[in-house]
Structure 1
Amino acid sequence: MKRSLLITLLSASFAFGADLLTNVDNRSSESLNGSWRMIIDPFESGFYDYRYNESRWGYFRDAEPRDKSDLVEYSFDRAELISVPGDWNSQQEKLLFYEGTVWYRKTFDYQLDEGKRLFVYFGAANYETIVYLNDKKLGRHEGGFTPFCFEITEHVKPKDNSLVVKVDNKRVETAVPTVMSDWWNYGGLTRRVMLIEENETFIQDSFIQLKQGSRSKIEGWVQLEGSEKKQQQIELKIPEEGISKTFLTDENGRAEISLNAYLQRWSPQNPKLYNVIIEAPGSRLENQIGFRSIETKGDEILLNGSPVYLRGICIHEEAPLREGRAFAKKDAEVLLEWAKQLNCNFVRLAHYPHNEYMTRLADKMGIMVWSEIPLYWTISWENEKVYENALSQLDEMITRDKNKASVIMWSVANETPISSERTEFLASLTEEARKLDSTRLITAALEKHTRGSVMHVDDPLGEYLDVLGCNEYEGWYSGNSGFSRTWETPYEKPLVMSEFGGGALQGFHADKRTRWSEQFQANLYKMQFEMLDKIDFLRGTTPWILQDFRSPRRPLADIQDFYNRKGLISERGEKKKAFFLLQDWYEQKMK
């Protein structure tokens, strides 16, 4: 199928954010976090029968023997315990490198009153997830870093509910990301699981932001869900400013929002958040929202109309003070506090949407955010299902975080090899991102090319972006000759150097020519600073990376030990020499 036809069909049929509940921190909820039962299933015998057809008698039935002679070859009641949220790799040594299926089960009681609705919400599960409640398949989700939910109103019982979840993190060529990446493939229910209760008709979602190009006009929408969603009165209130205005939903339960409001604008110096209240008949939802504008003019990035330099750092979703995937609010607090210590006003959340705690805390701390989907390296660009999957992950990322003032950029890709199919694929995603959210900038980490003594940022995808991203590792993957190159681009757009740096084993000291030493890394940063300061269209940097993180691609014994060592901080939280050099460089840029 031609890509243009595929895009047309998807645009006509794809219901953006149709089933996802947002702003879950401000809804009536009950946590399902804690101890779950798990069964490791590398052959997927709990899902397929011996003819490799989907079984009618799989583990999702949570069966028990009917009598003492009945054969049931599994038991959740006798299975091992595992903590949720959390990855299975760091919880059990035998699962460190495991890729495959693990079944989870949680039992719970729930008394749902008449006229109420109940949803089960997953912050994320890596990678393919199938969810069952009381022997009923609720649905399937693909993608390891975005939220999803299912309604369980018709299936929940007052007592002894069995929630069974099949999670499969096998890498496959047609996935997003694909088989090759440079981070640990943490599997499992890696983020929180919640039950969310709502009225029959309720506020499902809203988009309340400053109109693009304006610093005084709020525009957006409110979406009701339920049988009474048509022609309902919606009231939007910002009590601190005495703002109250009513709107009417249309036949689809959607109310378009538009009003003038002269509010304090959110910025790193003043991360002001307003309590925004939306009321509808039988439904009330609050959110904490900051209002700011972000745009470009030529090669400048303008925050609230003024040029801003993005002093950033890349971050992987690795736990800062323990092993495994970061999932707790405390994890986010430590990681972003380290970024603040570096004098950062910006972070790049690589290479996938991070936990919602990160973006909510960034709102409060005044840290701007680059958020991206894992279109990374060798994607199957001509596969229709891959495009639909990427579009879905883009939608879920934007749907969750579109009201976060901290998020100023959506990224559609990282280091993807240039081809006409790839560029068309990604260009169409930039178009869809703007349909979903016209108030933020679109970026990607682009390819670059050397011609003589000049480095050209001339990737054809740059035509479709607001901000150019570029990764370069002069002095690490190449010699030092690249530091003398000049940088050019055919696009009159701002550039963020989205990656640079090199590795060091914390505590290993030698001269500056000895690779893996802290001195080598520090000297590389010094040379980088000299080169970067000469790029006249550079408007930000996010060196790679804040903290050492696990990667199967890094096996060098006694140095890497399956860690990418490019962090400025070790996996134990110990700062390297380069940390303090970047801290000083950013302090100079604040003056």
Structure 2
Amino acid sequence: MISRNRIKALTAAVLLLATTFGSRPLLAQATLLQNAPGRKVLSLNGSWNYIIDPYENGFYDYRREAFDQSKTGKGGYYDNQKPSSRQETELIEYDFDKSAALQVPGDWNSQDPKLLYYEGTIWYKKSFTLTPKAGKRYFLYFGAINYESHIYLNGKKLGKHQGGFTPIQYDITSQLSPSGDNFVVVKADNTRRPDAVPTINTDWWNYGGITRDVFIAETPTTFITDYKVQLAKNEPGTLTGYVQLSGEGKAGQSVTLSIAEAGLRHTLKTDAEGRATFRLPARKLKVWSPQSPKLYAVSVSSGADVVQDRIGFRTIETRGQDILLNGKSVYLRGISMHDENPLIPGRARGEGDLRMLLTWAKELGCNYVRLAHYPHNETMLKLADEMGLLVWTEVPVYWTIAWENPATYQNAEAQLSDLISVGKNRASVAVWSVGNETPPGEARLRFMTSLVRKARALDDTRLLAAALELHRDGFKVTVDDPLGAELDLTSFNEYMGWYVGGKPSEITQYTFNIKYNKPVIISEFGGDALAGYHADADTRWSEEYQEALYQNQLKMLSTIRGLRGMTPWILADFRATRRQHPVYQNGFNRKGLISSTGVKKKAFYVLQTYYRQMAQQYDGK
């Protein structure tokens, strides 16, 4: 435990750490296109040929030197080499076009039985036709590739990216073939590494591959690359933000922001850097809330470029131990979830899967979801906007990270920056989280405090949080993590009745000593139950045990002063390699309130009843 009189010294060291760590990985892409899926796009989803390459023969020569770092840059699988007419003289030991195919988006683990546990390199290749037009620019965009990817177009390297859950984007205008015949090759590697984010130890399946949409976005040569349109912090009558142009003619351009339904239209001029900022009265805007998830059609235009978005407007802040949404106290009736459809093996594949998960949350009585433990699909945030669900979203700084490694911090900050870039215009996003269950220590405090301050610099209109650990002495629980001083919420995970303590009936004996006068959010609690297994309330793995655990958890948590919400673990059973019991788990974490076959367990109805009571108390419903 770090003494309080050292906190100032530790946080002062954050500036040094930030200077040492820098701001972005060396090969990270330029600013992500805001609302990239909403542009004019050519989808590259569908069948991609693939080659399994555990020895990385397609990347290194026999002396373990990378082909793409050689003088010629040739020799790797990314060349997509084909035999010439003199086939008898050529040695080519691969052929994408004769290889099997995987569906994209999708992980490889669920598409081929021999890849179920595979960790390593797989090469993907996709041919496409696109003839570049004069006066246009083209961006190759991947929603996510897990984990490290090297991306090539027509045999030339575009770049390298680390992080399995954030978008990847490259300007490919000059690399497209004039003939229109093109191919893209991706080296995807999901190998777990100690210095990665997340690190080698996680409690979810390490799905590999191109797991989200792939497309090419077309823009004019001078185009809108970024924008933010939101209510000012704690000022519901003021609309603030910016529009950022890119391209040679970005300076001195007219930019128009229009919200026709609200009678708002404003034209601005960009500065020398292509940016136009605004601060406008917006008293006619109806606020967004879970009870009334109002979205406006927002148009941002400049010259030939017009970007359409659907944006909601709301304020969220804390005052003492209250969370205020649009100035009114709110209780966050939440649930945690993974980016996985339990009914179909693998990562969630698209809007249908995501809508199903959020519909289950709404049926449970939620006004709030925790998207754990990494950035989820951008479509999930847009659906939450539409369906009226507040969102906690986080980066995978999970358990024990390489706290003192500058490259690890750069990676975490880049993922955080991209998370905020994608989500900053979504009314549903209420909380940025910088991590989960990280063990207190000096290096960790420097690392995490730097992330908190980076998030505040990028967006001061949301709440900052992390799922903290606890200290226990018998039935006395203390929440006194020094990182809590930097956060807006006191949020922590507790597993009384499952990992801690005895029977569910003993849960109510726990008491909490929370050091911070802030809103309290229980970010996790729960216990496993195999759907359909019935016994008494003291028999682990039974639905009755999980039901009793929830009943007693809710009694215990109701005694916490300042409790303003929770996200129990978890909405649905999910696959996890760590969970190996052959009867009760069989490769699944069974803490879901909904089973891997879509059956609601008894605890689902316990929480549903509680949430209906809280909705009546706070919302009058």
With normalisation by structure 2, the TM-score equals: 0.93
Question: Does the Cα contact within 8 Å between 2:576 and 2:587 map onto a contact in 1?
Answer: yes
For 1:570 and 1:545, the matched residues in 2 are separated by: 11
Counterpart for residue 485 of structure 1: 510
**Residue among 560, 563, 586 paired with 2:585:** 560
For 2:365 and 2:161, the matched residues in 1 are separated by: 38
Counterpart for residue 3 of structure 2: none
Shift of 1:413: 0.6
1:107–1:573 Cα change, 3 Å: same
**Residue among 41, 52, 67 paired with 1:40:** 52
**Number of positions where the alignment pairs a residue of Structure 1 with one of Structure 2:** 590
Shift of 1:514: 1.0
Question: 1:246 is paired with a residue of what secondary structure?
Answer: strand
Question: Does the Cα contact within 8 Å between 2:342 and 2:574 map onto a contact in 1?
Answer: no
The answer as to 2:364 corresponding to 1:346 is no
The answer as to 2:22 corresponding to 1:4 is no
The answer as to 2:545 corresponding to 1:511 is no
The answer as to 2:166 corresponding to 1:166 is no
The answer as to 2:203 corresponding to 1:182 is yes
Shift of 1:539: 0.5
Counterpart for residue 338 of structure 2: 316
For 1:478 and 1:442, the matched residues in 2 are separated by: 28
For 2:596 and 2:25, the matched residues in 1 are separated by: 41
For 2:23 and 2:403, the matched residues in 1 are separated by: 21
CA deviations over 1:54-84 (Å, ceiling 9, x no partner) = 0230000000122222100000011111000
Counterpart for residue 453 of structure 2: 431
Counterpart for residue 7 of structure 2: none
Question: Does the Cα contact within 8 Å between 1:327 and 1:355 map onto a contact in 2?
Answer: no
**Residue among 259, 263, 279 paired with 1:238:** 259
The answer as to 2:314 corresponding to 1:258 is no
Counterpart for residue 88 of structure 1: 108
Question: Does the Cα contact within 8 Å between 1:120 and 1:195 map onto a contact in 2?
Answer: yes
Question: Does the Cα contact within 8 Å between 2:382 and 2:426 map onto a contact in 1?
Answer: yes
Shift of 1:321: 2.5
For 1:544 and 1:288, the matched residues in 2 are separated by: 31
For 2:259 and 2:593, the matched residues in 1 are separated by: 41
CA deviations over 1:399-441 (Å, ceiling 9, x no partner) = 0110000000000010001101101110111100011111000
- Which blocks of at least 5 consecutive residues in structure 2 are unaligned? 1-12, 68-73, 617-621
Matches within 5 A, 1:66-85: 66=84, 67-69=86-88, 70-85=90-105
CA deviations over 1:294-338 (Å, ceiling 9, x no partner) = 000001100000110000000011114211101210011100000
The code of the aligned residue for 2:599 comes to E
CA deviations over 1:206-237 (Å, ceiling 9, x no partner) = 01110101111011111001000001111111
For 1:368 and 1:255, the matched residues in 2 are separated by: 29
Question: 2:157 is paired with a residue of what secondary structure?
Answer: strand
CA deviations over 1:442-478 (Å, ceiling 9, x no partner) = 0000121124543111111000000121000000012
The answer as to 2:313 corresponding to 1:284 is no
The code of the aligned residue for 1:244 comes to R
Counterpart for residue 30 of structure 1: 42
For 1:452 and 1:356, the matched residues in 2 are separated by: 43
For 2:382 and 2:156, the matched residues in 1 are separated by: 34
| Percent of residue pairs bearing the same amino acid type | 52
Matches within 5 A, 1:273-422: 273-422=295-444
**Residue among 550, 566, 570 paired with 1:525:** 550
The code of the aligned residue for 2:79 comes to R
Shift of 1:13: 7.3
**Residue among 108, 124, 131 paired with 1:104:** 124
Counterpart for residue 220 of structure 2: 199
For 1:290 and 1:19, the matched residues in 2 are separated by: 23
The code of the aligned residue for 1:45 comes to N
Counterpart for residue 71 of structure 2: none
Counterpart for residue 536 of structure 1: 561
CA deviations over 1:97-125 (Å, ceiling 9, x no partner) = 00000000000110221111111100001
The answer as to 2:76 corresponding to 1:65 is no
The code of the aligned residue for 1:202 comes to F
Shift of 1:490: 1.6
For 2:538 and 2:439, the matched residues in 1 are separated by: 32
CA deviations over 1:544-588 (Å, ceiling 9, x no partner) = 000000001001002100100000011111111111111111111
For 1:362 and 1:397, the matched residues in 2 are separated by: 16
1:554–1:163 Cα change, 3 Å: same
For 1:11 and 1:49, the matched residues in 2 are separated by: 33
For 2:38 and 2:408, the matched residues in 1 are separated by: 33
Question: Does the Cα contact within 8 Å between 2:35 and 2:309 map onto a contact in 1?
Answer: yes
The code of the aligned residue for 1:44 comes to E
For 2:140 and 2:406, the matched residues in 1 are separated by: 29
Shift of 1:160: 2.4
For 1:477 and 1:571, the matched residues in 2 are separated by: 22
Question: Does the Cα contact within 8 Å between 2:102 and 2:108 map onto a contact in 1?
Answer: yes
**Residue among 111, 119, 131 paired with 2:139:** 119
Question: Does the Cα contact within 8 Å between 1:320 and 1:331 map onto a contact in 2?
Answer: no
Counterpart for residue 6 of structure 2: none
The code of the aligned residue for 1:375 comes to V
Shift of 1:18: 3.8
Question: Does the Cα contact within 8 Å between 1:320 and 1:334 map onto a contact in 2?
Answer: no
For 1:485 and 1:329, the matched residues in 2 are separated by: 41
CA deviations over 1:134-182 (Å, ceiling 9, x no partner) = 0110011110001110011011123321100000000000000000000
For 1:13 and 1:46, the matched residues in 2 are separated by: 28
Shift of 1:482: 4.8
- Which blocks of at least 5 consecutive residues in structure 1 are unaligned? none
The answer as to 2:292 corresponding to 1:270 is yes
Question: 2:97 is paired with a residue of what secondary structure?
Answer: coil
For 2:378 and 2:23, the matched residues in 1 are separated by: 29
The code of the aligned residue for 2:175 comes to H
Higher mean alpha-carbon deviation, 459-468 vs 8-17, is at 8-17
Counterpart for residue 20 of structure 1: 32
The answer as to 2:173 corresponding to 1:153 is yes
With normalisation by structure 1, the TM-score equals: 0.98
**Structure 1 runs, 4 residues or longer, greater than 4 Å off:** 9-17
1:235–1:390 Cα change, 3 Å: same
